[in-house]
A and B are shown apart, each in its own frame.
Chain A
Amino acid sequence: MSTNQFNSTPITPELVKEHGLNEEEYKLVLEIMGREPNINELGIFSVMWSEHCSYKSSKKWLKTLPTKADWVIQGPGENAGVIDIGDGQAAIFKMESHNHPSFIEPYQGAATGVGGIMRDVFTMGARPVANLNALRFGAPEHPKTRHLLSGVVEGIGGYGNCMGVPTIGGETNFHASYNGNILVNAMTVGLADTDNIFYSAAAGIGNPVVYVGSKTGRDGIHGATMASAEFDDDSDEKRPTVQVGDPFTEKLLLEACLELMATDMIVAIQDMGAAGLTSSSFEMASKGGVGVELWLDKVPMREEGMTPYELMLSESQERMLMVLKPGCEDAAKAIFDKWELDFAVIGTLTDTKRMVLKWHGELAGDLPIDPLAEASPEYDRPWEETPKQDRIDPASLSGKVDHIDALKTLIASSDLASRRWIWEQYDHLVMGNTIVRPGGDAGVVRVSGTNKGIAATTDCTPRYVMADPIEGGKQAVAEAYRNLIATGAKPLAITDNMNFGNPERPRIMGQFVGACKGIADACITLEFPVVSGNVSLYNETNGEGIMPTPAIGGVGVISDLDHHATIGIKAGEGTLIMIGAATGELGQSLYLKTIEGREEGAPPPVDLNAEKRAGSLVRELIELGVVKTCHDIADGGLLVTIAEMCMAGNVGADVSLPEQGSEAAWLFGEDQGRYVIATSDPDKVLNAAASANMAAVIVGQIGGDAISIEGEAKVSVSELRDLNEGWMPSFMADAT
C-alpha cells in the first residue's frame, strides 16, 4: 500500500502529541491501521477521538440518561432530537456550546455557535422557528467581562437576526468562576412534518456524495481539538482556529436545503460542524454501514494550495454533506444554482466499509470506518462525590437589612437585573409568531397557521450544582419544567448542554456524575426525556474550573394559545396565591449571597413528585382559562417573584408574612416546586388546589403603585423598575 507524498511527513511522537493523542490512544491507532498512519490519517484520528467528538470521558454517564417516551421520534445520536407535537408535526431541537471560540473571539465564536446549531436543526428537515441561549460570564468587575458580553450578544444577534429566526429566550449569569472560561450555549427549535424528517445514515452503494454550501477555507482547523484542552495565558494565540460566520450564506443554504427536501432526492444529509468533512463523512458512513471514497480535489476551495489534511480538518461554516439518489444530481444542482451556492459531487459510497481519500487520483488516506467512528476510546474516569453542605438555619442570619431594602438590592444585582439590554439586540419578533417575548418564564412561538404554541426555555443554577451536583442537576431540569408550565405548556423533552471543568480531576468528574444522576432522576419522574445534547469539558484556565453548568433546554406545547399565561399581572386580578410548599431554604440563595455575603449551604432540595403535582395543577388551571398570570419562584424567592409580576403588570401589591417562622426565609428562601398566580377568583384556585391536595396560600393583595409588606415599608413599582432595568445599561455603558 502506498500513500505516496503523504508518507513523506514523518510521524514523530511530538507530532502525535500535538494532535492530542496520548500513548495509549496512539497504540490503538497503530493497531487499527496495522501500520503507521500518514499525516492525513493522523489528523483524522486526532479530531475523531477528541473529547469534543468522541465523548470519551462522558459517554459512560450519558448512557444513563432517560431518552424515551411515546412522543420521542428521535433521541440522542442524530444531529438533533425529534419529538411528536401532534397534527403530523414534529419539533426538532438541540443545544450546543461554543465556549472556547467565544472566549477567544466573542463575536465570531458566538455567531458561529448560533449558525452551527441552526444547521443541526435544518439538516433534519426542520425550519428553525426559535433560538435561545444560555450564557455565563465572569464577574461583572472582571476587566474582560464587558468586552466578552458585548461581543457575544452582538454575535448571537448578528447571526440569528440575519437568518430571520426569532431569539425568544435565554439566561445570563455572572460569576468569577467564568472569568477565564465563558459559556456560550445556543439552542434552536425547528418544526417539520413527521413524514419528512431527514437522517444522516448513508445508504446505496454507488450513490453520489455531494458537498453544498460555502467553499472550504483554512478556518477552524483543529477547533474540536482546541475545545478539548484547557486554556492558559496564551490562549489568545489560538485565535486563528476560530471560524468566521456568514449568516447570509447560511440563510441561502437553509432555503436551498428546504427546497431540496421538499423533493424526493436526498438519501442522507449531515451538516459539517466540529471536525468538518471528517466527522460528517465518517458518521454518515458509519451509521449506514457503508464505505466512502472522497475525491478531495473536487471540494470547493476558498484558498490556493490547500492540502487534503486541511480539507479534511477545516471547520469552515455553512457547509453540508449529503448522499443523493442516483441520477438526481442535475435537478438538485439547479436548486443550489438558483440560491447561488456551491454544489459539487465529491465522492461515492462503496461497500468496503473503509474511507478512501483521493487527491487528483492518488491515494491520500485509507482508514477503516467503524473502529474510528464507533470504537473510539471510552474512559471510566475516577470520580469523587461532592461533600454535602449543611442546611442554613435562618437563625444564623444577621437580619440587619430591612426586607424592602433587601428587595431593592437584589432586584438591581447582577444576578437579577433585567436582561432587556441583551434581548432587545435580538430580533425576537421576526416570522410574526412570537406570542410570549423574552423576559418571562419561557418564550412562546405560534405554530404557523394554527392556534398551537411551542414554549421553550433554558435553565441551570450553577451555584446549586456546585454545592450538590445531584440536587443541582435535578433542579436544572425541574426549573425548565416549571418555566414551561408557567406559560401553560405541557413539557415534553429536553436537550442538555453539559459544561464542566477538566474530567481528569476526580472532583470535577464527580460533579459530572452527580449532575447526570440528578438530571436522570428528574427526567424520569417528570416524564421529560433527554432527546439531544452536547458536552463541553476542560472549561478551565490555569487549573481553575468553572462552576458545573449542566444547562437544560426544555420544550413544551400549548395546545390552545387562547389559554396561555404570562408573568405580568392583568387588570381585574386582585389576589396573589402561592402554589407549593415552603420551608424557607436559604442555602445558596441570592439573599444569602448578596445581602449576607455568604455563598454556602445546602441548595434547596427538589421533591420531584411534588414538582410534578404542582405542575399538573398549574397547567390545568391555565388550560381551563382560570389562570392568565403565573410566574415560577426561582432565584431570589417569593418577594422577587411578586416584584417581577408587579413590574411586568405595572401595579403594586401588599405582601403577607407568615404567622410564624423567619420572615427572611419566607420572603427570600428559594424552595423549589412553587409558582405565584394572580387571580380574580381566589376561591376557585384554592379549591382546585385543595382537591389536588396541593399546598396553596394567599401571599398578597394586588393594588396601588407600590410594593409593601403587610402595609409597611413601601417601594414604588416605578422605583423598582428603574433599579431592575438600570443595572445592565449602566454596566455596559463603557463597553468597548
Chain B
Amino acid sequence: MKSAVILFPGINRENDAIAALEQATGTKPTLVWHGETELPNVDIIMVPGGFSYGDYLRCGAMAAKSPIMRAVADRAGQGVTILGVCNGFQILTEAGLLPGALMRNASLKFICKNTHLKIENTSSRFTNQYGMGDVVDYPVAHHDGNYFADEDTLNRLEGEGRVVLRYCDANGTVDPATNLNGSQRNIAGIINEAGNVLGMMPHPENAIDPLHGGIDGRGLFKSMVEAVS
C-alpha cells in the first residue's frame, strides 16, 4: 500500500499526516513537492493542513494553482483515493475537486479544540470502519472552516449521501448549538460525486494515539486502507 503527501510552501501538518498514513498503511508515504508535475504511483494521496502560501489572497487559492495540482486532478479523475484535511480541504475546493467554499469561522476566531462529529455515511471509502450515526471525537484547528455552498448544492450533497461528517455534540445532536464554526447544515466533511475524494476540516491525524487523548481518527485511515486493498 503506497501513499503520498503533497507539500506546498506554508503547509505545517505534513508530519502529522505522514505519521497517520504510516500507522495505517505500514509504509512511510512519499513527500511530493508542489513544484513537481508528476505523482508517483500511489493508492492514497493526502493534502495536509497548514497555511499554504500564508493563506494570503484566499485560503488554498494559490496552492490550487500549483503545478502538482494538475496531476492530483488527473488522479482524482482516475478514481485514486484523495483526502484533504483543513487547508487540504480548502485547496481541493479551490481546485474545483469538491464543491463549495470555506469561509472565516462565524466567531471570526481561530478555533483549536476537540469536537464531536457524526458519521453520516458508512459506505464511503473513508468511513467504512464506523457505524451509522457513530459519534467520533477529532480535534479541529482552523480559522476558515465555515463551509458554504448554495442551497441546490447542499440539497444535492445531502441527497447523494455525500455529507460524511457533521459537527454535533456527544449525543450526536446536530443543531445550531453544536455548529462549531457556522458551517451550512453543520457540514464538516464532504465527498465528491465519484466518492473517491474527501475534504474535511477536522484533523483525524491528531487523534491516532492514546497519548493524544483518543484514537478515533484511526478509523478514517483504516477505512481508506480497507477500501483500497
Q: Is the CB of A246 within 8 A of B113?
A: no
Q: Is the CB of B141 within 8 A of A429?
A: yes
Q: Evaluate contact between B139 and A429: CB separation under 8 angstroms.
A: yes
Find chain A residues with CB under 8 A from B212 CB.
Answer: 432, 434-435
Interface string of B13-42 (1 = CB under 8 A from A): 101100100000000000000000000000
- A726 at interface, CB cutoff 8 A: no
* Cβ–Cβ contact A339 & B9, under 8 A: yes
A431 contact from B16, B54, B112, B143, Cβ within 8 A: B16
B15, B51, B110, B111: the one within 8 Å of A248 (CB): B51
B53 contacts A by Cβ under 8 Å: yes
CA separation between A249 and B10, bound complex, in Å?
8
7 contacts between A and B (CB under 8 A): A154-B109, A248-B10, A248-B56, A251-B10, A431-B16, A432-B19, A437-B213
Given the complex, which residues of B lie within 8 Å of A252, measured CB to CB? 9-10
A163 touches B12 (CB 8 A): yes
A430 within 8 A of B: yes
Q: Which residue of B lies closest to A448 (CB)?
A: B15
Contact at A162–B211, with CB atoms within 8 Å? no
A426: interface (CB < 8 Å): yes
Closest beta carbon of chain B to A454's beta carbon, Å: 14
Question: Which residue of B56, B110, B205 has the most chain A CB atoms within 10 A of its CB atom?
Answer: B110
Interface bits B86-106 vs A (CB < 8 Å: 1, else 0):
000000000000000000000
Contact indicator per residue, chain A 410-443, by CB within 8 Å of chain B (1) or not (0)? 0000000000000111111111101101000000
Is A164 a contact of B12 with CB atoms below 8 Å? yes
B48 CB to closest chain A CB (Å) equals 10
Contact assessment for A164 and B112 in the assembled complex, using a CB-CB cutoff below 8 Å: no
Is residue A247 contacting chain B, with contact meaning CB distance below 8 A? yes
Residue pair B13, A430 in contact (C-beta under 8 Å): yes
Docked complex: A309-362 residues within 8 A CB-CB of B: 339-340
**Chain B residue with minimal CB distance to A165?**
B12
CB distance from A327 to the nearest CB of B (A): 27
Interface residues in B, total, Cβ within 8 A: 30
Tally the A-B contacts, defined by beta carbons under 8 Å. 83
Interface residues on A, range: 20 to 34
Q: A161 contacts the other chain (Cβ, under 8 Å)?
A: yes
Q: Is B199 positioned at the interface, with any CB of A under 8 Å from its CB?
A: no
- Confirm or deny: A584 has a beta carbon within 8 angstroms of a beta carbon on chain B: no
Distance in angstroms from B206 CB to nearest chain A CB is 5
Residues of B within 8 A of A426 (CB): 110, 112
Interface flag for A561 (CB, 8 Å): yes
Expressed in whole angstroms, the minimum distance between the Cβ of A474 and any Cβ of chain B is 34
> With a CB–CB cut-off of 8 A, which chain B residues contact A435?
211-212
Instruction: Give A427 to B50 CA distance when docked, in angstroms.
Output: 11
Check: B118 CB closer than 8 A to any chain A CB.
Answer: no
How long is the Cα–Cα vector from A168 to B151 in the complex, in angstroms?
Answer: 40
B110–A161 touching, CB < 8 Å = yes
Q: Looking at A163, A164, A426, A427, which has the most chain B CB atoms within 10 Å of its CB?
A: A427
Task: Say yes or no for A157: interface residue by CB 8 A criterion.
Answer: yes
List residues of chain A with CB within 8 A of the CB of B49: 430
Q: Is B109 a contact of A425 with CB atoms below 8 Å?
A: yes
**Which of chain B's residues have a CB closer than 8 A to the CB of A561?**
211
On whether the beta carbons of B211 and A446 are closer than 8 Å, the reply is yes
Q: In angstroms, how far is the closest chain B Cβ from the Cβ of A272?
A: 20
Bound: A154/B111 CA distance, A: 11
Given contacts A425-B112, A435-B211, contact A430 B16 (CB under 8 A): yes
B112 in contact with A247 (CB, 8 Å): no
Q: CA of A154 to CA of B105 in the docked complex: distance in angstroms?
A: 14
Q: Which 9 A-B pairs have the closest CB atoms?
A: A164-B12, A248-B54, A432-B16, A162-B51, A427-B141, A425-B110, A427-B112, A429-B206, A435-B211
Residues on B with C-beta less than 8 A from A154 are 109-110
The verdict on B43 contacting chain A, using a C-beta distance below 8 Å, is no
The docked-state distance in angstroms from the alpha carbon of A161 to that of B144 is: 13
Is A162 in contact with B55, judged by CB distance below 8 angstroms? yes
CA distance A212 to B110 in the complex (A): 31
Closest Cβ neighbor of B50 among chain A residues: A164
Q: Is B116 an interface residue (CB 8 A)?
A: no
Q: Which residue of B lies closest to A426 (CB)?
A: B112
1/0 contact string of A430-473 vs chain B (CB within 8 Å): 11101101000000001010000000000000000000000000
Roughly how many angstroms separate A164 CA and B12 CA in the complex, as a whole number?
5
Question: Told that A162-B10, A246-B54, A251-B10 touch, could you supply 19 new A-B pairs with CB distance under 8 A?
Answer: A154-B109, A158-B110, A162-B12, A247-B51, A249-B54, A426-B110, A427-B110, A429-B112, A429-B139, A429-B203, A429-B206, A430-B206, A431-B13, A432-B15, A432-B16, A432-B19, A432-B206, A432-B208, A432-B209
A162 vs B86: C-alpha distance when bound (angstroms): 13
- Cα distance A248–B50 in the bound complex, in angstroms: 10
| In the complex, chain A residues whose CB is within 8 Å of the CB of B50 | 164
B13 touches which of A158, A164, A434, A448 (Cβ 8 Å): A164
Residue of A nearest to B14 (CB): A164
- B10, A157: Cβ atoms closer than 8 Å: no
Q: Looking at the assembled complex, report how far the CB atom of B183 sits from the nearest CB atom of chain A, in whole angstroms.
A: 17
Q: Encode contact with B along A245-260: 1 for CB under 8 Å, 0 otherwise.
A: 0111101100000000
A426 to B113, CA, bound (A): 9
Q: Are A161 and B15 in contact (CB under 8 A)?
A: no
Q: Which residue of B has the minimal Cβ distance to A247? A: B54
The one of B12, B139, B213 in contact with A251, judged by C-beta atoms closer than 8 angstroms, is B12
Distance (whole angstroms) from the CB of A429 to the closest CB of chain B: 5
- B44-69 interface with A by 8 A CB criterion: 49-51, 53-56
Closest residue on chain B to residue A427 by CB atoms? B141
| Contacting residues, chain A, for B19 (C-beta < 8 A) | 432
| Alpha-carbon gap, A12 to B86, bound state (A) | 58
- In the bound complex, do residue A432 and residue B141 qualify as a contact, i.e. CB atoms below 8 Å apart? no
Q: How far is the CA of A165 from the CA of B15 in the complex (A)?
A: 12
Residues on B with beta carbons closer than 8 Å to the beta carbon of A446: 211
Q: Which residues of A contact B9 (CB under 8 A)?
A: 248, 251-252, 339-340
Residues facing B in A656-715 (CB within 8 A) are none
Residue on B nearest A562 in the bound complex, by CB: B211
Give the chain B neighbours of A251 by CB distance below 8 A. 9-10, 12, 51, 54
B121 to nearest A CB, angstroms?
Answer: 26
Partner of B110, one of A157, A247, A434: A157
List chain A residues, Cβ under 8 A from B51: 161-162, 164, 247-248, 251
Q: Is the CB of B10 within 8 A of A424?
A: no
Residues of A within 8 A of B12 (CB): 162-164, 251, 430
Q: Considering only CB atoms, which chain B residue lies closest to A162 in the complex?
A: B51
Chain A contacts for B54, CB-based, 8 A: 162, 246-249, 251
For the complex, give the distance between the alpha carbons of A425 and B142 in Å. 9
Taking a contact as CB atoms under 8 Å apart, the answer to whether B112 and A424 are in contact is yes
B26 to chain A minimum Cβ distance, whole angstroms, is 17
Distance in angstroms from B115 CB to nearest chain A CB is 11
A448–B211 Cα distance when bound, in Å, is 13
Smallest beta-carbon distance B111→chain A, Å: 6
- Chain A residues 152 to 203 lying within 8 A of chain B, measured CB to CB, are 154, 157-158, 161-164
Closest B residue to A444 using CB positions: B211
Return chain B residues, CB-CB under 8 Å to A157: 110
Residues on B with beta carbons closer than 8 Å to the beta carbon of A164 = 12-13, 50-51
Beta-carbon contact of A432 and B113 below 8 Å = no
Tell me the bound Cα distance from A437 to B112 in angstroms.
11
